[in-house]
Amino acid sequence: MSTTHTDELLAQVAALPPLPGVYRYFDAQGVLLYVGKARNLKKRVSSYFTKQHGGTRIGHMVGKIARLETTVVRSEAEALLLENNLIKSLGPKYNILFRDDKSYPYLKITGVAARDGQGAAPGQCYPRIAYYRGAVDKRHRYFGPYPGAWAVKETIQLLQKVFRLRTCEDTVFANRTRPCLLYQIKRCTAPCVGFIPSAAYAADVHGAETLLRGETQELLQALERRMLAHSERLEFEQAAEVRNQVTALSRVLHQQSVESLSDKDVDILAVKVAGGRACVNLAMVRGGRHLGDRAYFPVHVEDAAGVFHQEDADGAEPAMHAGCTVEAQVLAAFMAQHYLGVPVPPTLITSEPVEQRLLEALSQQGGVRVTAVHQPREQRRAWLEMAQQNAEIQLARLLAEEGSQRGRTRALAEALDLDLEGLDQLTIECFDISHTAGEATQASCVVFHHHKMQGSEYRRFKIEGITGGDDYAAMRQVLTRRYCKVAEAQREAGGAEVSDRRARLPDLVLVDGGKGQVSMAREVFTELGLDVSRIVGVEKGEGRKVGLEELVFADGREKVYLGRDSAALMLVAQIRDEAHRFAITGMRAARAKVRTGGSRLEDIPGVGPKKRARLLQRFGGVRGVADASVEDLATVEGVSHGLAEEIYRALR
C-alpha cells in the first residue's frame, strides 16, 4: 500500500465491495480530480494504491488523492452512464470533458390539429411550424435535434414550399383580416382568414410530419392516392393542388440529393487528434436528409489519455476500451456524454470501433436498439469521409487560432515580466464603465484565461448611490465589490494562495482608463491590502487613435507603449474591447428597461417571460398594456381573469 496517503483513506480502499460502481478522487482542497467506473470497485480502486506509477500522469494524479467517494450500482452499464453524467456535470481534471453549453435547436409543430375543426381555438385547429430552442412541452410536437439554426430554417422553408403551413405567431394569426405576403408567394394557405378547411390543413400537417420522419416514399404514394381520388370525384382544382405538392416534394428531394431513403435517422461521428487537441465532428441525418454537422473540442485530452493508458497497462481489470487508440477513447467519451441529454438515433456511423458495452448502455438509456457501423459502404462511406475531412479542417483551424492566441498571451507576459511558466493559467480581468449622460450606469468585468475569453465568468454590476457620470466613483464601487471577498479569503488563508479561482486575485487587472482610473484602483487595492502591481490601465493614445494606446501601472513604473503591431497590444485591445461591448449591452438593456417601465411588468407575480412577451406583442408595449381593460388582458393566451385583474391593478 502507498505510504503517501492517510491510513483512513487506505482503510476505506481496503473495505470497498467487489461490485460495479463509480469512484471519485479529490485532492486536499476538495477539487475533483477524476471520475472512473469499475466492474469491480475493490479491484479497480486498489490498483491505484498498490502499484508504482512513477512519473506518469496517473502517478501525479494518485499523489494528489486525499479523499475518495464511491457509488455502487447494479450493472456496468449503469456505472458507465453515471460516470459520464458526473464527468459532464463536474468537469474533473483527469477526464476527457466535452463542454457544450448550447442547447440544440428543434423544429416545433404547435398544438394538435383538430380534424373536425370543433372544440379548439383557431390556433389549435391550424398548428404552426417554428424554430425552437429550449425545454420541450408535451402539448407540442418536436423534430430534431438539428446541428444548427440554419438546418431548422432550411427545413421550415422546405415544408412551406410543399405543404404551405403557417409560421406566424398565434397573436398575429388571431388578428389577421387579409392574407399576408406568404400567401401571395404560395408559401402559406392563409388559414388565418379561412382560405383552407381545418381538415385539409390537418392533412397537410400530417404530411409534413411524415416527411420529417423520413417516410418519403409512403408520403409520395399517399399524395398520389389523394390526387387520384380528387380526380375521380371530378374535383380538379383540389387534384391540381395535390399535384403541385407532389411536384414540389419531388423537386425538393432531388435538390437535397437523398440517395439512401432507408437511412432515416443516422449520426456520423468522425474523430481527429493532433497537437494535443482533438475534434469530434458530428454530422446528422434526419428523415433521410443530411442536415449538416457540428464540431466538438474536448479538454483534458492529454491528461486523460495518460491516465487511461496507464490504467490499461496495470491490467487491474479489462478496460472499457482495451487496447484502443486515443481517437477511440475520445469517441467513446463523446458518445457517453453527448447522448446523456440528446436522443440517440438507432444507427451510428463511426470512424473508430465502438465497444459493444457502450452501445448496450446507450440502448438501455434511450429505449431503442443502437448499432454502430465502423467500416460503412456506398453512401454511408461518403458521409463518413465528409465528416472526417470536416474534423480535420476544424482541428487545423482550432490549432491555428490557439497558436495565435497563445503567442499573444506570451507576448503580453514577456512585455509585463509575468511568470512564463504559468502561461496557460494566466488570468486577466478587465473592467469598464458605461452610461448615457449618467443614466443607467453599468460596470462590466470580463475574464480571460487559458488563452481565451471566458464568457461564463463575465459579470455586470449595477452602479448605484453615486453622482451621475462620475466614472471614478463607479470604478471604486465595482472594484470594491469585486475584490472585497478576495481580500477576505486571502486574510483567512493567511496570505496563502486560495484554491477557489473565484476567490483568487487575477494575475492582471486591466482598467479602461489612464492615470485617474489607475489611481482610483490603487486606492481600492491599498485599502483591501491587495497587490497593486497587478493593476494596469489602458490609456488612449494621441488623438485616441487605435494602436497608440499606452499601459499605465499602479506601482509607479513608467508607461509602456507596446507598438501598433505588437501581439501584446492586440491581446490587450481584444480584452478591453470585449469589456466595453459587455458594458454597453448591459447599459442599453438597463436604460431601455427604465424608459419603457418594463420592470413594473416584470415585478407582477405570475407574469413570466412568455406571458410578458405575449402582452407586449398584443398591446404594442407597456403603455398599451397599462391602457388595456381587464377583459382585453384576459384574451391573451395564458392570462386568466384573476391574473388580468392583478396586472390591471399593478399598472395603475
pLDDT at residue 257 in the model? 42
**More reliable by pLDDT, 418 or 536:** 536
Domain enclosing residue 617, as ranges: 597-650
Asked whether 260 and 268 are in contact (CB, 8 A), the reply is: no
Is there a single domain that holds both residue 502 and residue 617? Answer: no
For the segment 277-288, what is each residue's pLDDT rounded down to a tens digit? 899 999 988 777
Residue 99 CB contacts under 8 Å (≥ 6 apart), including other chains: 91, 299
* pLDDT confidence bin for 320, thresholds 50/70/90: very low
Residue 519: the pLDDT is 93
pLDDT band at residue 313 using 50, 70 and 90 as cut-offs? very low
**Choice between 226 and 294, residue whose per-residue pLDDT is larger:** 294
Q: Are 646 and 619 in contact (CB under 8 A)?
A: no
Is residue 115 one of the residues assigned to a domain?
no
Residues 570 and 635 occupy one common structural domain:
no
Same-domain pairing of 432 and 522: yes
Given a cut of 60, whether residue 483 has pLDDT beyond it is yes
Q: Is residue 193 part of a domain?
A: no
571 and 623 in a single domain? The answer is: no
SS3 294: strand
Single pTM value for the model? 0.63
Q: Which of 244-253, 272-281, 536-545, 567-576 has the lowest mean pLDDT?
A: 244-253
Does residue 186 belong to any structural domain of this protein? no
431/483 same-domain check:
yes
Tell me which of 356, 381, 396 is where a domain ends. Answer: 396
User: How does pLDDT run across 416-439, given as a tens digit for each residue?
Assistant: 888 777 788 899 999 999 887 667
pLDDT (0 to 100) of residue 543: 60
What pLDDT score was predicted for residue 216?
Answer: 67
Contacts of 405 (CB under 8 A, 6+ apart): 451, 452, 571
Distances from the Cα of 322 to the Cαs of 314, 354, 612, in angstroms? 11, 11, 55
CATH code of 458's domain: 3.30.420.340
**Tens-digit pLDDT profile for residues 442-470:** 899 999 998 889 988 999 998 888 887 88
Look at residues 162, 163, 161, 152 and name the one whose alpha carbon lies nearest to residue 130. Answer: 152
What are the beta bridge partners of residue 22? 37, 71
Q: 259-263, 271-275, 403-407, 510-514: which range is least confident on average?
A: 259-263
Is pLDDT at 256 greater than 60 in this prediction? Answer: no
What percent of the chain lies above the pLDDT cut of 90? Answer: 18
H or E element at residue 587: helix 567-596
Rounded to the nearest 5°, which phi and psi values hold at 60? Answer: -60, -40
Residue bearing the bigger pLDDT, 652 or 648: 648
Same domain (yes/no): 563, 608: no
Domain end (from 55, 90, 125): 90
Question: In this predicted model, what pLDDT tens digit does every residue of 386-424 receive, in sequence order?
Answer: 999 999 988 888 888 778 888 889 889 888 888 777 788
Percent of the chain with pLDDT over 70: 85
Q: What pLDDT does 508 receive? A: 94
Total count of domains within the chain:
4
Q: How confident is the model at residue 322 (pLDDT cuts 50, 70, 90)?
A: very low
Residue 471 maps to a domain:
yes
Q: Per the domain annotation, does 144 fall within a domain?
A: no
Query: In terms of domains, do 571 and 610 share one?
Result: no
Q: Do residues 461 and 558 share a domain?
A: yes
Residues 532 and 502 in one domain: yes
Q: Residue 609's pLDDT band (boundaries 50, 70, 90)?
A: confident
131 in a structural domain: no
- Average pLDDT over the chain, rounded to whole? 81
The strand pair at 265-274 and 347-350 is best described as: parallel
Give pLDDT, residue 114: 45
Mean pLDDT within 131-135? 81
**Residue 586 within any structural domain of the chain:** no
